Amino acid sequence: MKNNIVKDGSTKKRASRLTLGPLFFHWPAEKRRDFYFRIADEAAFDCVYLGEVVCSKRESFFEEFLPVVADRLRAAGKEVIVSTLALVTSERERRAIESHAAAGGLIEANDVACLQALQKSAHIIGPFINVFNEGARDFLVRNNAARIVLPVETPAHSIGVIAKKKNVEIEVMVFGRQPLAVAMRCYHARAHGLTKDSCQFVCSLNADGLPVDTLDGQRILTINGTQTMAHGYVVLLNELAQLQKMSISHFRLSPQNVDMVGVARVYRSVLDKNIVPEEAMLQLKTLTRGVPFVNGFFHAREGLAWVEDNRKVAS
């Protein structure tokens, strides 16, 4: 992995690197471009993931902006990684992965269909490929996985066990709506009386996803095209020190329709021990506009739970 250039112009490799995961939502191309330009110019990320993960029909909208966005991020000293689809369903999609691999850039594989094309060079395993134990980790490392992004459902104890291997980097998602599933059918289109083939890209109407309530009115999920997500934002701030002790190298923030530059500043400050998690939590609440916080999976609870005291977690 390349060293990162920090804002003071020096070059060093941070022990705790902050990453921006791929954007799951279908934002207008210009909004998406300007979002990444601001990330390049102002945000304290060491690594940024680009690429369409949810629906291949969206790819053409942003395709013309990808080169200039990637160049601007690299010029700002950020590592740029291309993320693949989470559900590869066609020959065209498979060939696109092979084309990315041939180009020589670092790729995040989010479907096992990508692994054969990527096994000859270093690559990253995304959170949509289930790695819950040492056996899965070791198999992927033998096939040139240089970093593994763990599934969002992974509890603290399992994270600690998987992270014990020293020849692979481990990344954990610590902020944002957690991706739970990707399906062949498009729930977003169905909610508007449309089909997936004639969806009219209605997912673009909801910049932060379409909320879903239970019959008794409890808001627990968010729909984003073919993707099902948690409603609340996972927030692992109290848990960052524990994750650092586990030798987690990369800490992922998932892009949301909020001030992600501000969110990155909060997390970077906690990782660098410049502020305490309690103060960071107050700052984060001012940025997230009332969306509830969750951390249940980390604490071996149901995902929508919020555990205040992380000392109850066995590492």
Q: Is the pLDDT of residue 93 over 90?
A: no
Whether the per-residue pLDDT at 25 is higher than 70: the answer is: yes
Sort strands 169-182 and 227-235 into parallel, antiparallel or unpaired.
antiparallel
What is the rounded average pLDDT of the residues 170-191?
Answer: 95
Residue 314 has pLDDT above 50, yes or no: no
pLDDT at 9 over 50: no
The average pLDDT across 289-305 equals 96
Average pLDDT over residues 153-178: 96
Q: Averaged over 17-40, what is the pLDDT?
A: 98
Asked if residue 217 has pLDDT above 90, the reply is no
- Give the pLDDT mean for 122-139: 96
- Dist CA 53 CA 38 (whole Å): 22
Q: Greater confidence, 178 or 95?
A: 178
Q: What residue type is assigned to position 167 of the chain?
A: N
d(CA 201, CA 255) in angstroms, rounded, equals: 20
Percentage of the residues of the chain whose pLDDT score is greater than 90: 82
- Residue 91 has a pLDDT of 86
pLDDT of 24 higher than 50:
yes
Sequence-distant (6+) residues with CB within 8 A of 268 are 18, 44
Kindly report the average pLDDT of the chain as a whole number: 92
Average pLDDT over residues 240-247: 97
Q: Which residues contact 100 (CB under 8 A, 6 or more apart)?
A: 82, 84, 107
CA atoms within 13 A on the CB side of 6: 11
pLDDT (mean) for 247-268 = 98
- The whole-number pLDDT of residue 1 equals 38
Distance (Å, whole) CA 255 – CA 20: 7
Which residues touch 279 (CB under 8 Å, ≥6 apart)?
A: none
From CA 123, how far away is CA 101, in angstroms rounded? 9
Examine the pLDDT at 310 and tell me if it is beyond 90: no
Residue 259 near residue 271 (C-beta atoms within 8 A)? no
**pTM of full prediction above 0.85:** yes
For the segment 204-209, the average pLDDT, to the nearest whole number, is 95
Strands 293-294, 11-12: pairing kind: unpaired
pLDDT band with cut points at 50, 70 and 90 for residue 5: very low
In contact, 154 and 297? CB cutoff 8 Å: yes
SS3 category, 242: helix
pLDDT of residue 313: 45
pLDDT exceeds 90 at position 221: yes
Percent of the chain, pLDDT > 70? 94
Q: What is the pLDDT of residue 302?
A: 95
Q: pLDDT tier at 7 (50, 70, 90 boundaries)?
A: very low
The whole-angstrom separation of Cα 148 and Cα 128 is: 11
Spell out the domains of the chain, with CATH numbers in brackets.
4-179+232-312 (3.20.20.70)
Contacts of 302 (CB under 8 A, 6+ apart): 296
In which band, very low, low, confident or very high, does the pLDDT at 116 lie, cut at 50, 70 and 90? Answer: confident
The DSSP bridge pattern shows strands 219-224 and 210-213 to be antiparallel
How confident is the model over 175-185, as a mean pLDDT? 95
Q: How would residue 12 be classed by pLDDT, with cut points 50, 70 and 90?
A: low
pLDDT, tens digit (0-9, with 9 covering 90-100), for 39-91: 999 999 999 999 999 999 999 999 999 999 999 999 999 999 999 999 998 88
Kindly give, in sequence order, each residue whose CB lies less than 8 Å from that of residue 36, ignoring residues fewer than 6 positions away: 48, 50, 69, 72, 73
